C-alpha cells in the first residue's frame, strides 16, 4: 500500500491548446478542451511529435521508402524488457478436460441447461465457429514486464487499434501491431486520417500499456483493464511515486479514484482526461521530456505473448492483462480495505445477488430468480445470508465490503459483476449470459455467451457456471429459470453448509 504523503505539490490547472497534426504538418489550432492537471504542461515540440508519427508512417506498406534511404528516420530498435514478477497458470494444463468440447473450462465457461439442443449449440460454438475467438490461454504462466524509454512518446488511445511507444532510436508496439511481425500491413493513411493532439510533460511517467478506456463504461473497465496492471507496475516504483520523481498515468476519472483508493497520493498521479471517444475526436499522444516507464503482460521468461493483428475486430480476445486480476486480487483488496480502515470480515458466508436496477438491458424475471434463490436456500436448510445488491446505487467501498464476504456471486453480465475482483478466492459465480438473439442490435462487441470468463480469466474460480437469458416475443430479456435452478442446486451440492461455532 502507498500511504498518504504529507504536503501536496502546488498544481496548476492548464487548458491545453490542442495541436492538430494532419499528414506531415503540425498545426496550433486550439480545441478549448481541458486535458490534464499537471505541474508542467505545454504543447509538445513539433519535432518530437512529428517524429513519433513519422515513425508510425514509416512502417506502413505504402510509406515513402526514400525517408529510410536518405536517413531522415532510422528504423527503431526494440525496447529492453525486464521481468518484474512471475505468475503461475490460472489452471494446470490438462486439469480441466471436457470430453465434448476442450475449450469449455479453458477459454469458455461451463453452460448449464436442461435442453440438450441448447447444450449442443453451445459446444458447436465454443469448439466450432468460435474455437479461435480467444487467443488467451489460462494454462500459460505469465510475467509482468517493464521497459524504460528516454524522451519517448506514446499514443493514449488504441489508435488505430494499437498502442506504440518510441523515441528517436527505440520503439515498439505495446498492444497489437502492424507490419511484418503481425502479418498485417498498415497504410500510411491509418496515421494521417485522424487529428492528433500532441502533449508533453516534464515528468517521468509510469504507464500501463494495456490501456482500454471507454468513458461510458469507465467503472468496469478501470477494474478489469487498469487496476491490476497498475498495482503490479506501481509496486516497483513505490519510492519514486512517494517522492514525486515518477507520476502514474491515469486517463479516466475512475482510474484516478482507484489509484487514490490504493493509497496513492493525488500528486503522484498524472491525470489526463481522454474524454468521450468519437471517431473524429483528436487522438492524444503523450511525450515525456524525461522517461516513459512502460508495463505490459509477458509470457514465460518475459517473452512476448501472442496477439491479434491491429485490424482484428475481436476487441477483447487478446486481453492477457485480465488474467492479472485474479492473480493479485487479494493484494488489491487488502490494500484498499486497509487504507480505508475497513475491518477484515470474520467469514465468507453471503450469497450476493447483483440486480440490474436499471432500465438499461433489464432482465424481466430477475425478481423471480431472486425468489427462487431464497426458496432453494430455505429448502436446503442453508444458513447463508442472501443479499440483494444494486451496485449502481452504492459507493465504491460499499461494493467492496459486500463482495469480500461473498460465498456465491449471482448476476447478469454487466458492470456490477466486474466487482468479482474483490470476491474471495473460494467464491463461486453464477453469471447470466445472453443468446445471439438477445444481443442482436446492441452497441459494441456482444457475441453470444459473452461472459466475464473472458477467454480463460474465469478459470481462477473453482466454481463458475453460466445460465442463458433470451429475448421473448416482445424483445425483453428473460432468464431460463429451470436452468438457473439447476445451476444453483449444483452449487449447493458442491459447497458444504457453513459450520457455525457456539
pLDDT tens-digit readout, 443-456: 777 889 999 999 99
- In this prediction, residue 436 carries a pLDDT of 85
Strand partners, 171: 166
Same domain, 58 and 115: no
Residues 127 and 156 in one domain: no
Whole-angstrom distance between the N-terminal and C-terminal Cα of the chain? 36
Residues 116 and 149 in one domain: no
Q: How buried is 10 (Cβ within 10 angstroms: 0-12 exposed, 13-18 middle, 19+ buried)?
A: exposed
**19, 20, 167, 199, 260 from 54: Cα distances, Å:** 16, 15, 11, 16, 37
The answer to whether residue 475 is domain-embedded is: yes
User: Grid coordinates standing for 352?
Assistant: 450476493
Could you say which of 236, 267, 296 is where a domain stops?
Answer: 296
Of the three residues 279, 296, 313, the one that is the final residue of a domain is: 296
Q: DSSP strand E in 399-450: where?
A: 406-412, 428-434
Q: Could you tell me if residue 95 is inside a domain? A: no
All three cell numbers of 410: 449471482
Name the band, by pLDDT with cuts 50, 70 and 90, for residue 60.
low
Residue 501 within any structural domain of the chain: no
Q: Which stretch of 46-50, 153-157, 241-245, 303-307 has the lowest confidence by average pLDDT?
A: 46-50
Are 221 and 162 contained in the same domain? yes
Residue 3 has pLDDT above 50, yes or no: no
pLDDT of 19 > 90? The answer is no
Q: Is 171 among the domain residues?
A: yes
For residue 390, being part of any structural domain is answered with yes
The residue from 296, 329, 352 where one domain ends is: 296
Read off the CATH number of the domain in which 369 is found.
3.40.50
Per-residue pLDDT reduced to its tens digit, 370-408: 999 999 999 999 999 999 998 667 889 999 999 999 999
Q: Is residue 57 located within the same domain as residue 169?
A: yes
Q: Are residues 461 and 445 in the same domain?
A: yes
Provide the percentage of residues in the chain whose pLDDT is more than 70: 78
Mean of the per-residue pLDDT values of the chain: 82
Q: Which of 26-30, 59-63, 282-286 has the lowest mean pLDDT?
A: 26-30
One-letter-per-residue 3-state SS of 315-376: CCCCCHHHHHHHHCHHHHHHHHHHHHCCCCCCCCCEEEEECCCCCCCCECCHHHHHHHHHHH
Has residue 94 been placed in a domain? Answer: no
Label residue 344 exposed, middle or buried (CB < 10 Å: 0-12, 13-18, 19+). exposed
Average pLDDT estimate for 240-245: 94
Same structural domain for residues 412 and 388?
Answer: yes
Task: Using pLDDT thresholds of 50, 70 and 90, give the confidence band for residue 55.
Answer: confident
Looking at per-residue pLDDT, the higher value among 458 and 180 belongs to: 458
pLDDT band (50, 70, 90) for residue 180? low
- Does 354 fall in a domain? yes
Is the dihedral angle over the CA atoms 354, 355, 356, 362 positive or is it negative?
A: positive
Question: Same domain, yes or no, for 430 and 354?
Answer: yes
Q: Residues 105-129: what's their mean pLDDT?
A: 95
Arithmetic mean of pLDDT, 298-315:
86
Give yes or no: residues 381 and 233 share one domain: no
Same domain, 379 and 264: no
The burial of 254, by beta-carbon neighbours within 10 Å (0-12 exposed, 13-18 middle, 19 or more buried), is given as buried
> Is 129 in the same domain as 149?
no
pLDDT at 321 > cutoff 70 = yes
Q: Among residues 212, 219, 276, 215, which one has the least CA distance to residue 414?
A: 219
Please compute the mean of the pLDDT values over residues 277-299 and round it to a whole number. Answer: 86
How many structural domains are present in the chain? 2
Q: In this structure, is residue 301 part of a structural domain?
A: no
Q: What angle do CA 231, 234, 236 make, to 5 degrees?
A: 120
Q: Which residue has the higher pLDDT, 324 or 163?
A: 324
Instruction: Indicate the DSSP class of residue 266.
Output: G
**How many distinct helices (H) and strands (E) make up the chain?**
13, 23
Could you tell me the residue range of the domain that residue 384 belongs to? 110-137+342-494
What's the length of the chain?
Answer: 502
Calpha distance 345→405 (Å, rounded): 7
Q: Reply yes or no on whether the pLDDT at 186 is more than 80.
A: no
- pLDDT given for residue 16 in this prediction: 27
Residues 32, 179 within the same domain = yes
Which residue has better confidence, 395 or 83?
83
Highest average pLDDT, of 30-39, 121-130, 193-202, 435-444, comes from 121-130
Amino acid at each position: 500500500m502507498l500511504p498518504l504523503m504529507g504536503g501536496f505539490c502546488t498544481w496548476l490547472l492548464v487548458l491545453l491548446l490542442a495541436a492538430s497534426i494532419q499528414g506531415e504538418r503540425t498545426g496550433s489550432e486550439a480545441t478549448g478542451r481541458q486535458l490534464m492537471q499537471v505541474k508542467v504542461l505545454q504543447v509538445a515540440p513539433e519535432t518530437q511529435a512529428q517524429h513519433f508519427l513519422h515513425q508510425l508512417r514509416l512502417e506502413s506498406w505504402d510509406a515513402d521508402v526514400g525517408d529510410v534511404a536518405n536517413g531522415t528516420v532510422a528504423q527503431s530498435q526494440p525496447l529492453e524488457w525486464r521481468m518484474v514478477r512471475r505468475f503461475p497458470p490460472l489452471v494446470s494444463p490438462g486439469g480441466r478436460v471436457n470430453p465434448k468440447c476442450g475449450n469449455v473450462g479453458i477459454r469458455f465457461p461451463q453452460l448449464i441447461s436442461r435442453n440438450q439442443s441448447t447444450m449442443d449449440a453451445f459446444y458447436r460454438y465454443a469448439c466450432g465457429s468460435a474455437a479461435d475467438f480467444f487467443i488467451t490461454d489460462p494454462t500459460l504462466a505469465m510475467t509482468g514486464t517493464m521497459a524504460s524509454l528516454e524522451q519517448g512518446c506514446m499514443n493514449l488511445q488504441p489508435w488505430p487499434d494499437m498502442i506504440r511507444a518510441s523515441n528517436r532510436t527505440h520503439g515498439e508496439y505495446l498492444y497489437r501491431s502492424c507490419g511484418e511481425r503481425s502479418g498485417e500491413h498498415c497504410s500510411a493513411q491509418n496515421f494521417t486520417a485522424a487529428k492528433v493532439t500532441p502533449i508533453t510533460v516534464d515528468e517521468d511517467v509510469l504507464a500501463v500499456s494495456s490501456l482500454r478506456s471507454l468513458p461510458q463504461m469507465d467503472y468496469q473497465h478501470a477494474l478489469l483493464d487498469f487496476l491490476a496492471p497498475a498495482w503490479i507496475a506501481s509496486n516497483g516504483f513505490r519510492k519514486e511515486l512517494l517522492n514525486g520523481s515518477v507520476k502514474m498515468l491515469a486517463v479516466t476519472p475512475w482510474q484516478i479514484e482507484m489509484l487514490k483508493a490504493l493509497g496513492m497520493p493525488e500528486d503522484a498521479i498524472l491525470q489526463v482526461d481522454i474524454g468521450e471517444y468519437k471517431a473524429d475526436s483528436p487522438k492524444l499522444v503523450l511525450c515525456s521530456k524525461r522517461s516513459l516507464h512502460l508495463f505490459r503482460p509477458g509470457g514465460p521468461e518475459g517473452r512476448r505473448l501472442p496477439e491479434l493483428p491491429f485490424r482484428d475486430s475481436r476487441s477483447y480476445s487478446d486481453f492477457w492483462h485480465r488474467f492479472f486480476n485474479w492473480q493479485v486480487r487479494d493484494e488489491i483488496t487488502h490494500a484498499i480495505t486497509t487504507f480505508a480502515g475497513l475491518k477484515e470480515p470474520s467469514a465468507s458466508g453471503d450469497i450476493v445477488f447483483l440486480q440490474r436496477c436499471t432500465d438499461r438491458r433489464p432482465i424481466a424475471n430477475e425478481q423471480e430468480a431472486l425468489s427462487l434463490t431464497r426458496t432453494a436456500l430455505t429448502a436446503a436448510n442453508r444458513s447463508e445470508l442472501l443479499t440483494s445488491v444494486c451496485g449502481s446505487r452504492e459507493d465504491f467501498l460499499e461494493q467492496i465490503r459486500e463482495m469480500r464476504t461473498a460465498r456465491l456471486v449471482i448476476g447478469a453480465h454487466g458492470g456490477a459483476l466486474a466487482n468479482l475482483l474483490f470476491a474471495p478466492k473460494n467464491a463461486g459465480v453464477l453469471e447470466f449470459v445472453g443468446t445471439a438473439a438477445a444481443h442482436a442490435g446492441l452497441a459494441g462487441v456482444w457475441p453470444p455467451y459473452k461472459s466475464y470468463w473472458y477467454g480463460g480469466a474465469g478459470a481462477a474460480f473453482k466454481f463458475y457456471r453460466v445460465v442463458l437469458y433470451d429475448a421473448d416475443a416482445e424483445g425483453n430479456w428473460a432468464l431460463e429459470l429451470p436452468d438457473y435452478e439447476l445451476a444453483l442446486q449444483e452449487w449447493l451440492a458442491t459447497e458444504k453448509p457453513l459450520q457455525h461455532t457456539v
